[in-house]
Structures are given as structure tokens and as C-alpha cells.
Structure 1
Amino acid sequence: MKFVSTRNPRGPAVSFAEALFQGIAPDGGLYHPVEEPDLRALIRSLGEDASFLDCAGAMIQGLFGDDHTAETARELARRAFPFEPRLNRLEPGMRLLELFHGPSCAFKDFGAGFLAAVMEWELQRGGQAIPAERTVILTATSGDTGSAVAQAFQGRQNIDVVILYPSGRVSPLQEKQLTAPSENITALEVKGSFDDCQRMVKEAFADPDLTGRICLTSANSINVGRLIPQSFYYIWAFSQLKDYAGRELVFCVPSGNFGNLTAGLLAWRWGMPVSSFIAATNANDVVPQFLQTGVFTPRPSVQTLANAMDVGNPSNFERMEQLFGSAQAMKGLISARSVSDREIQAVMKDVYEKRGELICPHTATGVLAAREYLQDDPGEDTLVVPLATAHPAKFVEVSREALGVEPPLPERLARLLEQPKRSVIVENTREALARELLKRFG
């Protein structure tokens, strides 16, 4: 499978390993698949008895068959995913795709787990595409990405990780997850927003002096090694819901940087039958506005209760443009709904009072958008699948304010609260990040 830059689709193509370790193209664009493999037969062959591990192994071999046999694909899947998604019937016409059963209790465990496993695999295997014996992962987080990356890469051989996060803009538990002491993980607490963190990462990759001295790559969804495995849980969910093939199956995706939605779009392009996608955002609604006006206007992010979606300039929009080319074409498959903080709290309370279920604020945006879709199209043949992106216990303060209830902490999260915070405070400038990187790895 080959990849090209979103900013130069006719430019030179690189291998998966090259895209994996470069993270971002030399021209600043994102790597995107050149070809669209036809995996319809593979996807339809997965039955309801298929485990997520079965699905992931089959997809790894289907996409990267030149590098993996069925056995090595299965082994890589086993290393990457010691957990699995679950489907939960929330209300009529709606199934929650629960993606929070991994080590950091968020959907990003899937992408981070695969990225860590495949990077370690490639470094051990060596080859011309591997730029160095040791690599530094540089990633920005609005909350969940950093938590997942810290958990997935902890103790990995020949890999160091530097995580940038906005000071005061992640939940206390998220901060504990990404600042827990670990020999190969460094947390940089940035005086600024997530957009500042993301800009700093992009500037570091565009700095030839820095990249000439340090082997840098990224663990954000700008890295195809994190994006592609997120398509696997869409395909697994389809395998469990095949009764809706040929009817109306809709995925509703809480969206911030739009990597999760882009992964679903890749699954669709590779042959997964789906009627449409709904992008549920918080007040940071640049993509819903684009679908209405045809004009993409990035702006500074706004702080909301669904903080992992506080993104005013989503990086993966470049990939969405590559897939569709225009707002009109995008609207043929994607609708969008922006959800306010007040609506988030109301949905969390309603689901708890009527169903006895606790959901996180990000999941609440998807549930509200799914409900509105079902109100407009209440047919028996319609099933909407909102993605439950994080465990509610990661947002105790939001649940306490909305419901007067504190979600019980899973044991793996409770242990983190006992650990000290270890972070380095930095200014939101290119120079500040370069100093920290060169001091540690230059």
C-alpha cells in the first residue's frame, strides 16, 4: 500500500513504513492512501461470530498483504489490541459502539495500540524505510490522545514519546494519565490551546535542522499508522449488524480533529456498506459550517465540556477534502450537528434517568445527533450507531455537575490517581519546543 501527500496527490509515493516514521509529508501535508483496495469480499465474509481480533487480523493482511502473512497479521493484531469494542443497545433504533474498554478508557487506544505495536515491529525488523534505530514520537493532545499514547508506548523498545497538552484544558484524570512517570515518556504542559500544541508539532516537523538531528514522527491522527486501525472497529461493528446491510445503517461520530470520522470514511471507500455518517461536534463547528456554506474557515478553539473535541482547525479535514473534493460531494454522505454544553448536560441527564446509563460528554454529542436523525427518519429499517468514545469516569466533574452522580472509576484509572504528576511547562512557541527536544535527544 502506497501513500502520497494531501497537498501533492501526484507527487512521489512512499511505503507504509516510510509514512509511519515520517508522520507528516515533507511539504506539510498528510499522508493518504494512493490506491483504494477493494475489500468488499473480505468485509462481507466476516460473520457475526468474528471477534475483533479476527477482523483486525484480516484487515491487516488485506491492506498490507505484501508485508504480512495471515499468521504475522494475526500476531500484530494480538500485540496491538489486548482489548476489544462492544455493541450496546441504548434505545430503539440505536446501538452504542463502546470504544472505551482499552487501557486509557478512550477510543484512541485502538489507534495508539496499533501504532506502538507496528512501530516496535518495524524497528525490530529493520530495513531501508527505517530512518534510525531509535525514534521520537511527538504528539499533541486535547486530552484522550496523550492518555492513549502514554499507555500504549510505555516501556516500548527504542521509542521515546513527547506529549504536548494545553495547560488547564484537560481533565484532572486525563492529566494524570499523560503525566504519570515513565522513563520513555515526557509531558510538555503548554501555555496555550490545543491548536497551539498542534501548530508547534507541525512546525517541528517542518524544521529541517530539528528533523536532521532527531528522528521524529507523530502519534496524532495525522499519522496513517494511527488512522488506519480505527477503521477496523467500524468494519467489526458492520460484521455484527449485517441484518442492516441493504437497509439504512448510519454511524454517528463525535468529532474534533476528525480522525475518527476519516477512519470510517476509509472503511466505506474500501467496501463497507453504510448509508451515511453524522459528524457530531461541540461548539467548535467549522466542519458543520463548511457543509452549510462550502467555505472552510478555521478559527481559535472554544473551550467546552467535551474538551477532547475542542479543535478549531481539524487536521484531518485535508484528508476529507482528498476523499470528496467539494462540500457538495461531502454532503452526499455526511451530515453534521453542533451540540452546545447545555445540550450535552441535558442528554447525559436524560440517558441516566431513563436508561440508567452513564455516558461521557463526547458520547452525548453523538447520542443527541443520533436521536435527531431518528426523529427525522423513524423507519424500522434504520439503525444509528453512535460511537461511545470515552469512559464517563474520565469526566467526573462533568457528570457531577450534570447528574449529581460520580461515575465509579475502573481500577486501571484509580491506580493512576495515586501517582505524582510529572510535566515540564513551556511557552507556545516553536523555539521553546525545539529547545526541549534538543536538550533531551539532540
Structure 2
Amino acid sequence: MKFASTRNKDHIVSFQEALFQGLSPDGGLYYPLETVDLKSIFSDFSSNSSFQDIASTMISSLLGDEIPESDALILAQQAFPFSPKLKKLNDRINILELYHGPSSAFKDFGASFLANSMEYFLANNDRKAVILTATSGDTGSAVARAFYNKANIEVVILYPSGRVSPLQEKQMTTLGNNIHALEVMGSFDDCQKMVKDSFTDTGLKGINLSSANSINLGRLIPQSFYYIWAECRLRSGKKPVRFCVPSGNFGNLTAGLYAKSWGLNVDQFIAATNKNDIVPAYLKNGVYNPKASVQTFSNAMDVGAPSNFERMQILYENDIKRMRLDVQGIMVDDKDTLKTMKMVADTYDYAICPHTAVGIKAAMEMSDSSSNITVLSTAHPGKFTEVFEKAVGVKPELPESLLAVKNLDKKCILISNKSDELKKTLLSMFS
């Protein structure tokens, strides 16, 4: 499989090149150049197929020219010592729990594969990489855990001051060693712009920069694997499979759309957003109008200019009618987010994070008796203790991964939201 830039289809690279470049030199995102047909491979999977087995087969099927089958198996075993879980909430809604990894969020899947893939390629040469990534919450903590003490890799994480939960911040700022946290006086969109500017800044050419955001294919491709794992277990229900995806930067949804384009039997996707409803608005009125993000209780989805929309446009050849066939958009506000968290706790004795609540509320509005909707549960509710307590009235139980960082000391550098200041900081660290 080869990859091209969303802004120049003639700029074609290998997976390894896309992995380490992160962003194309022209500012575009790398996307799969070919649409492969994997229907026969998907049909061979069953409800007994483990996540590691599915991941290994997908790695060798998609990237076999660069990662041989024997190495793909080892890579899958190293990257995924954890797995999704599927839970039935009621007769119409299932929950795909994606928070059983080391940082208790779905981004562990992509971050762990990315970290292990980079280490795999770096082991064969003397290169060193500096991972530069922006986060609205969960990406930073997942990347920090996945890359911690990886050989030949340094990590710099930018996060918006005051806009991530206290436990998310602790997960990013307490590891030290090769993990460097920058607290930015601005929004996530500011952080994302600063990262993108750095990749196209010729003054930083001496630093081997790469990204761990969903702009990086190494993050995006493995996120398709859990859709495949879930579909294997849902197909026995003999109803059309629909996924509802809490969406911010739209990497998670794009990964599912890729899986569908490769032949996965998915009927439709629901893009559930908070007040930052840029893509649902586009699907409704045909106008893409990115704008400054607004702060919500589902903070990891506070994105006003979702990067992966470029990949979605390429996939559907800028044909909104085709995109609407596969994707429906719906917005859920903070009031309904809190109500849904409490309703699910009271009715089903089940604790959910605010992002999952956005997905469940959207699924409830879109569900009918003809199909089941599977909501992607993107994070453990313990990562959002304050919001959960506000909604439900009690604090959620914390998993061991969160208890371990709760009382550790924060270590970070405070910087402005200007790209020049990030440049100076990077040069002082790594030049």
C-alpha cells in the first residue's frame, strides 16, 4: 500500500515515510492511495478471532511490503496486550469499550501501534525521532504512556491550559524522561496549528520531527482494527451494523470509513459531536465552515477545525451526496450530555464518560427497531471525575492506571500560543 498527500496526489510515499513525516511537506495529510478489497479476509474472521489475530492479519495485508508477516505478528503482540470489550446496553444499543489500555482511552490503540512501529523501523538504523503532538485531552496521555522510554524517541506534547481534565493533565505531565509536556496558553486549535506550522518550518529541518496526532497514519490505520473486531461479533445479530462515533478531530470516524471502503460490512456511521458541530453542519447544509472551538464538558472533542475532514473529502471525492449515504451527523449539547450520563447510571447501573454520553444520546435519537447501533465508548469515566460527579452526584471509581498518577507532581513548560515560541522551545531542546 502506498500513500499520497491530500493536497498533492502525485506526492507518493511508503508507510515508513508517512509514519515519520507525520504531515506532508505541503501541509496535507497522507491517505491510502489505493482502495483495497479485503472482503475475503474479513469473511475469514469470526467472533472467536482475537484482537491480536485481527491486528496481525490487517498489518500484513495492508503493510506487508514493509512489515513481513512474521514481524506483523510480533508487532501486534507488542502493541496490543489489551483488547476492546463489547457490552449490550439495551435491545437497540451496544457499547464498544475502548478504554482498557494503559491510559484508559481509545487512543491507546493508535498510540501503542505508532510507538511500536516507529521503534521497529528505528531499530534498523541510527535515526532518532522527535514526536510533536497536540492534544485536547486523551491523545496526550495515550501518547505519553505508549512512547515512555522508547528507544531513540523523544516526545513533546502540547495541551491547552485549563482545558483538559486534571487527571488527563497528570497522565501527560508526570512521566518525565523522554516525555516533555508544554502547557499552551490557548485552545486545542492553537496547539494543532502550532504543530502543523512546525512541520513546514524550514528552520526546524535539523530536527527529525514526526507526529502522534491522528494526522499520522500510524495512529489512524490501527483504529480501523477495532471496527473489524466488533463487526465480527455483531454480524450474528443479522441486523445492519451501524456505529455511532463521538467525534472531535474525526480520526476515529475516518478509520471506520476506511474499513468500510475496504469491504467491512457496515451500513452507516453516526458522527456525534458536541457544540463544535462543524461536520454535522456541513452534512446538513453543504458548507464547511471551520471556526474557533468552544469549551464543553466533552473536552476531548472541542475541535473547531477537524484535520481529518481532508481525508474524508478525498475518500468521497468531494461528493457530499456520497458522504451522506455513509455518515449522518448529530450535535449533543452539554445539558443533554449530563442528563445522559445520569440516565445511564440510574437506568443501567453503568458509568460513562461525557464523550460516550454524547454518542449514546445521539444513538438513542437515531435508533429504530430495524438495526442496532454500537456506540464507541472512548474513555473511562474516571478520567472526567469532575464532570461525572456534576452529572451523577458521586465520583466514579478510578482504574489502576489513573490511581497511579493521581498524586504525582506535574512537570511542564508554560508557553504562549505562538508558533515562534514553540520553534524556540524545540530548538533549545533538540538542536
- What TM-score do you get using the length of structure 2 for normalisation? 0.98
Q: Which of 399, 410, 421 lines up with 1:421 in the alignment?
A: 410
Q: Distance in 2 between matches of 1:50 and 1:329?
A: 32
Q: What are the equivalent positions in structure 2 for 1:121-200 lying under 5 Å apart?
A: 121-126=120-125, 133-200=127-194
Structure 2, unmatched stretches of 5+, are none
Aligned length: 430
Matched position secondary structure for 2:25: coil
Q: What are the equivalent positions in structure 2 for 1:359-438 lying under 5 Å apart?
A: 359-374=352-367, 377-379=368-370, 382-438=371-427
- Structure 1 residue 244: deviation in Å? 4.3
**Aligned residue for 1:296?**
288
**Aligned residue for 1:285?**
277
Q: Distance in 1 between matches of 2:159 and 2:220?
A: 20
Matched position secondary structure for 1:38: coil
Preserved contact between residue 176 and residue 411 of structure 2 (Cα < 8 Å):
no
**Aligned residue for 2:325?**
332
- Structure 1 residue 67: deviation in Å? 2.5
Preserved contact between residue 355 and residue 379 of structure 2 (Cα < 8 Å):
yes
2:294 counterpart of 1:305:
no
- Structure 1 residue 71: deviation in Å? 2.2
Cα shift readout 1:300-347 (whole Å, capped 9, x = no counterpart): 000000000000000000000001122222111100110000000010
Preserved contact between residue 178 and residue 187 of structure 1 (Cα < 8 Å):
yes
- Structure 1 residue 140: deviation in Å? 0.1
2:23 counterpart of 1:34:
no
**Aligned residue for 1:91?**
90
- Structure 1 residue 70: deviation in Å? 2.9
2:239 counterpart of 1:221:
no
- Structure 1 residue 38: deviation in Å? 1.0
Preserved contact between residue 148 and residue 175 of structure 2 (Cα < 8 Å):
no
Preserved contact between residue 294 and residue 328 of structure 1 (Cα < 8 Å):
no
Matched position secondary structure for 1:417: coil
- Structure 1 residue 68: deviation in Å? 3.1
**Aligned residue for 2:64?**
65
- Structure 1 residue 182: deviation in Å? 1.9
Q: Which amino acid aligns with 1:6?
A: T
Q: Distance in 1 between matches of 2:49 and 2:394?
A: 37
- Structure 1 residue 162: deviation in Å? 0.2
- What TM-score do you get using the length of structure 1 for normalisation? 0.96
Q: Distance in 2 between matches of 1:385 and 1:406?
A: 26
**Aligned residue for 2:347?**
354
Q: Distance in 1 between matches of 2:391 and 2:349?
A: 14
Where in structure 1 do 4 or more consecutive aligned residues deviate above 4 Å?
A: none
Matched position secondary structure for 2:215: coil
Cα shift readout 1:259-301 (whole Å, capped 9, x = no counterpart): 0000000100111011100000000001010001111000000
Matched position secondary structure for 1:165: strand
**Aligned residue for 2:119?**
120
Q: Distance in 2 between matches of 1:69 and 1:307?
A: 39
Q: Which amino acid aligns with 2:185?
A: K
- Structure 1 residue 242: deviation in Å? 1.9
Matched position secondary structure for 1:62: helix
Q: Distance in 2 between matches of 1:155 and 1:264?
A: 31
Cα shift readout 1:161-217 (whole Å, capped 9, x = no counterpart): 00000000000000000001321010000000000000000000010121x210000
Q: Which amino acid aligns with 2:409?
A: P
Q: Distance in 1 between matches of 2:165 and 2:387?
A: 10
Q: Distance in 2 between matches of 1:232 and 1:46?
A: 12
**Aligned residue for 1:129?**
none
Cα shift readout 1:136-169 (whole Å, capped 9, x = no counterpart): 0000000000000000000000000000000000
Identity %: 54
